[in-house]
């Protein structure tokens, strides 16, 4: 049983890339805490706000009408200083000075690495809520924003398929996800891709070219390849160049980019964020200190932050194979 503290004031922040549904999570954290008579402080702009003492008291009315909005009202950011222990100490001192006793961190794997260090170095209670379109966090089947991003990307892919089909063209569509191929795998199956390229399942270029040529030989005139961006956004252009050089194969490129991070969250993301936000506050009240809220087989669970950070969640290979099987 975790040791409880007499909790009176908590802080909440969003960090890393924004994701649709972050506002729904902020609302759920704040309103659950306020219902339990806790004070809630919004920390602006991720870890930078802790360093700059950019704190805002959150009220029930500050949460009005944000459930359906994309982005994050608390702003987000990437804070390079947080990699240095002296800035983490400064952050903790600023939080303590403001009377903040515990944190809810809504972010991705990088944000959780910072969160985990705050607990390890300063024993500061912190609960993570996975918010990233990439769905690359171990210990949870889904992250907040992934469902919306998949649907946003898919609606663009459907449009591209219309024009690809009209012109009998091959398209390489690049989707976000950094080192993870979750978005690619899901939109690839849902969008009927010929081939899905994921960073953790590399495929020789000649193999891809052969597949396209085989499809053409079978009478298929237009195809779509979904490429996860990987380390280097824009790799779809390199791929198209290779197609041209090696096989005189013309491919149009479309990079979907940051539109995938915006927009109103899907119903699923709003529900997930609401459940996770409420659960995170209850976890703090129960004395939990360095855990992440996850969803596993439909159940909301807690997993150690260190497990979420250090374990790798791989792209679902079965979806890559399924897309290949169904692309005849
Ligand atoms: P995400 O949380 O979406 O994965 P990032 O990887 O950009 O996004 O991380 C967000 C922020 O978390 C970074 O800008 C930094 O402030 C903090 N962070 C990331 N990695 C570390 C680390 N190894 N040590 C301390 N802080 C980190
Ligand atoms: O982690 C979310 C994400 O959108 C990745 O999919 C993408 O690689 C990255 O952030 C883009 O970051 P930025 O907005 O800083 O270009
Ligand atoms: Mg990340």
pTM of the model: 0.97
Mention the CATH class of domain 148-261.
Answer: alpha beta
The residues lining ligand 2, judged by C-beta closer than 6 Å to any ligand atom, are: 17, 108, 132-134, 176-178, 229, 261
> What pLDDT digit, counting tens, does each position of 186-220 carry?
999 999 999 999 999 999 999 999 999 999 999 99
Percentage of residues of the chain with pLDDT beyond 70: 99
Strand, helix or coil at 220?
coil
Q: Mark whether 290 is an active-site residue.
A: no
3-state helix, strand, coil in the chain (%, to 5): 45, 20, 35
The pLDDT of residue 110 is above 60: yes
Ligand 1 centroid, distance to 78 Cα (angstroms): 6
For residues 236 and 142, give the distance between their C-alpha atoms in angstroms, rounded to a whole number. Answer: 27
Residues of the chain with CATH 3.40.50.460: 148-261
> What pLDDT digit, counting tens, does each position of 25-52 carry?
999 999 999 999 999 999 999 999 999 9
Give the ranges where the chain is alpha helix by DSSP (H).
22-35, 47-52, 85-97, 109-122, 146-167, 182-190, 205-217, 235-247, 267-285, 305-310, 317-326
Closest ligand to the CA of 180? 2
Mention the CATH class of domain 9-145+265-310.
Answer: alpha beta
Residues of the chain with CATH 3.40.50.450: 9-145+265-310
**In which band, very low, low, confident or very high, does the pLDDT at 5 lie, cut at 50, 70 and 90?**
confident
Find the mean pLDDT for residues 293-301. 98
The answer to whether the CB of 87 is under 6 A from ligand 1 is no
Nearest to 226 by CA among 191, 263, 261: 191
Q: Which of 134, 136, 147, 290 is catalytic?
A: 134
Ligand 1 centroid, distance to 50 Cα (angstroms): 14
Ligand 2 centroid, distance to 9 Cα (angstroms): 32
């Amino acid at each position: 049983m975790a040791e409880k503290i007499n909790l009176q004031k908590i802080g909440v922040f969003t960090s890393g890339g924004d994701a649709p549904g972050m506002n729904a999570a902020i609302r759920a954290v704040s309103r659950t805490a306020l219902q339990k008579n806790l004070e809630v402080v919004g920390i602006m702009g991720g870890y930078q706000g802790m360093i700059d003492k950019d704190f805002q008291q959150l009220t029930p009315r500050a949460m009005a009408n944000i459930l359906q909005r994309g982005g994050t009202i608390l702003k987000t950011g990437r804070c390079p200083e947080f990699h240095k222990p002296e800035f983490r100490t400064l952050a903790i001192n600023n939080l303590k000075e403001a009377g903040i006793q515990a944190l809810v961190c809504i972010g991705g794997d990088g944000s959780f690495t910072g969160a985990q260090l705050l607990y390890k170095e300063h024993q500061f209670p912190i609960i993570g809520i996975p918010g990233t379109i990439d769905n690359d966090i171990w210990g949870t089947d889904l992250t907040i924003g992934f469902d919306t991003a998949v649907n946003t990307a898919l609606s663009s892919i459907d449009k591209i398929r219309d024009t690809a089909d009209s012109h009998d063209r091959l398209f390489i569509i690049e989707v976000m996800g950094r080192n993870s191929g979750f978005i690619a795998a899901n939109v690839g199956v849902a969008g009927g891709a010929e081939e899905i390229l994921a960073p953790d399942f590399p495929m020789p270029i000649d193999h891809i070219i052969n597949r396209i040529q085989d499809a053409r030989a079978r009478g298929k005139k237009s195809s779509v390849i979904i490429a996860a961006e990987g380390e280097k956004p824009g790799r779809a252009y390199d791929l198209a160049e290779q197609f041209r050089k090696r096989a005189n194969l013309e491919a149009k490129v479309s990079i979907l980019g940051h539109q995938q991070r915006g927009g109103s969250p899907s119903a699923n993301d709003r529900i997930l964020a609401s459940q996770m936000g409420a659960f995170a506050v209850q976890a703090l009240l129960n004395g939990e200190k360095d855990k992440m809220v996850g969803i596993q087989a439909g159940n909301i669970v807690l997993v150690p932050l260190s497990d979420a950070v250090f374990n790798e969640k791989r792209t679902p290979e079965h979806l890559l194979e399924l897309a290949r099987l169904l692309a005849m």
